Amino acid sequence: MTRLKQVTWAVPVTLGALVVALVLAVVVARKERQSPPSVAPQVSVRQQTTSTQAASFDTYATYGAGLTHVVPSPVASLRPTLGDQWRELGHTTGRLLVSPSGTRSRYFEIGLVAFAPQRSARLEVLTSTEQRGLSPVDSRVPEVLNFGPFLASRHGRTGVAFTSVQPHSANIGASLVLSPLQAEYLAPVCPLELLTLKDTTLLECENGPTRTKAA
């Protein structure tokens, strides 16, 4: 993950809300695995999003080689939130172009759910701006993953490469199934010790970008 010395970057409200919904969905999915077959799975109210919202996640991405195989969602309880068109990441690198939403800034973050149907693996991310991310994906457990902050491309869309690697080496790992992703620009926020009061409504960061208006 990229480390910033003086300026941290806040996750947008919409991406944060997605993470909350996905965490709740994952809890439901794990309970579903432990329940007897005769027990109907309980779906959280937060998962009752429209199909339009689920389909809109992929508007942030243009999929290329290695991510063209569309498969059904491997987790039934996540279908209301993320739809039923996931992508299989096999034994080759999957490539895509990402167009983050929100107010353009220097950094962005990617959020998605990864599922390892056979064996545990790690999902490695490499961007065209030479930023890297790595996260474990346990077998048969849906993992909510957030990668970033990543440096955004100056030319709009940023290239992203996904690779499955083994848990304890850099060798190619087991196949993964990836949900539709969401990408958003991160808003700059200053640490409190760097804030100076410029007037009654605005706080400005010394040697850094302007923060949002004070409450």
Residues 164 and 139: beta-carbon distance below 8 Å:
no
Give the Cα separation of 5 and 55 in Å (integer).
37
Closest to 70 (Cα-Cα) out of 80, 56, 58: 58
Q: What average pLDDT does range 8-13 have in this prediction?
A: 51
pLDDT in tens, 167-189: 999 999 999 999 999 999 998 76
CA dihedral 100, 204, 9, 53 (to 10 degrees): -40
Q: What is the pLDDT of residue 69?
A: 96
Q: State pTM to two decimals.
A: 0.68
The domain locations on the chain are: 8-187
Q: What is the pLDDT of residue 37?
A: 35
* 50 CB-near residues (< 8 Å, 6+ apart): none
Q: Between 117 and 210, where is the model more confident?
A: 117
Closest to 182 (Cα-Cα) out of 6, 18, 9, 39: 18
Query: What tokens were used for 160?
Result: 């992203």
**Range of lowest pLDDT (41-55, 85-99, 117-131):** 41-55
pLDDT in tens, 150-172: 999 988 799 999 999 999 999 99
Matching CATH number, 8-187, of 3.50.50.60, 2.60.120.260, 1.10.10.10, 2.40.110.10 = 2.60.120.260
Q: What is the pLDDT of residue 214?
A: 36
Q: What is the pLDDT of residue 189?
A: 65
pLDDT in tens, 189-209: 655 554 454 443 444 444 444
Query: What tokens were used for 163?
Result: 């690779």
Q: Between 15 and 140, where is the model more confident?
A: 140
